[in-house]
Amino acid sequence: MSALGLLLRIVFVTIVTSSSLWIAGRMIVGADKAKFSDAFWIVALGIVVESLVRSFVTGFIAPLVQLVVWLYLVRHYFDTGWGSALFISILASVVFILATIGLAVLLSVLGLTFLSAPSPTPFIF
């Protein structure tokens, strides 16, 4: 991945993912430990480390290393244990999925269907 591609990925994913991680963190560890700036840094650093792991570690072990890194970042920044870090991560995924579905429904109700896949061209025989 090029440096520009990595930078764009960091910016886009950080903006989209930080909110759900922040909400999940506040639900589990409270507002005093889960700050939005912490969620932002967890996601940004996680993406950088994930890219480095992909560069040096391959095969079955790479996703496991990435999971441990993500959980460590959540654990460190939200000042919690490993179990809570795992639960925060799972809850953040659920929050992200629900927000995505809600946004898709809202855009559909508003008539903005540009996110849908184009219909296939019929075969002419």
The predicted-structure confidence for 41-86, as pLDDT tens digits, reads as follows 999 898 888 888 888 888 888 889 999 999 999 999 999 999 999 9
Q: Which two tokens stand for residue 94?
A: 């659920």
The H or E element spanning position 89 is helix 82-109
Tell me what pLDDT residue 69 has: 92
CA distance 74 to 95: 16
Tell me what pLDDT residue 68 has: 93
Q: Contact, 21 vs 88, CB < 8 A?
A: yes
Contacts of 22 (CB under 8 A, 6+ apart): 34, 35, 36, 38, 39
* Sign of the dihedral defined by the CA atoms of residues 79, 80, 82, 85, in that order: negative
Tell me what pLDDT residue 6 has: 73
